[in-house]
Structure 1
Amino acid sequence: MIAIWRLTRSKGSMTGAMLGGSVRRKIGEIPLEKRTLYSEVVQVLDMKSYDGQRFVALNLVSKAPVAMRMTPIRLSRSQAQELVALLRQASGLDQDATSRMR
């Protein structure tokens, strides 16, 4: 019963229901793996909590012919910015920008 209420309140979004809000807009998605019968993407979503606070969601979605798995992750805006910094560092983008300035 609670699951139906949360799904209705999140405007039909399973991710919204799982994270306690609704999807404002889908920013985009990155394909991670695609095989004949299996695919995996990570989605980036702009979300709004039930009390009006905005947050960012990452949603790892895996699909196969008879199965689907979703792993939503809720990030505050500051956590999202920290993640961006870590990804830039891990990918070497911060080092490239620093070396170009020299």
Structure 2
Amino acid sequence: MSKKSNKIMVCVSPVQAVRTKMVASLMVRLGLAAIASDARKIISNDIRSYDLGTAYLVACDNYYLADSPLITQRLYELSARGIAVIVGSKTIPRGYDFVSEAFYPENF
């Protein structure tokens, strides 16, 4: 995979460590990091640590899309503009599947 879709890329797993590994692996696949350990250094645990107005990459391993519709809307706007938005989540809530591209552990 070398082309990023214009949706929020969501790594879905109930286990935090698996989500972190998946986000890091996806970042390497997209060419955003050379190796997974480099990717892990820039993955955030809280989406609110990003300034979404100036972000050129969003990588978070713990975000639930329904927590904040305003933040999710902003993430979708960023991804639609071509900015890589990769988040890890336990599940994808109903109604959010049209703005997200899901990745599951069995795909990695």
What TM bracket, shorter-length normalisation?
under 0.3
TM-score w.r.t. the length of structure 1 is 0.26
Q: Larger relative CO (CA 8 A, sep 6+): 1 or 2?
A: 2
Q: Specify which structure has the higher proportion of strand.
A: 1
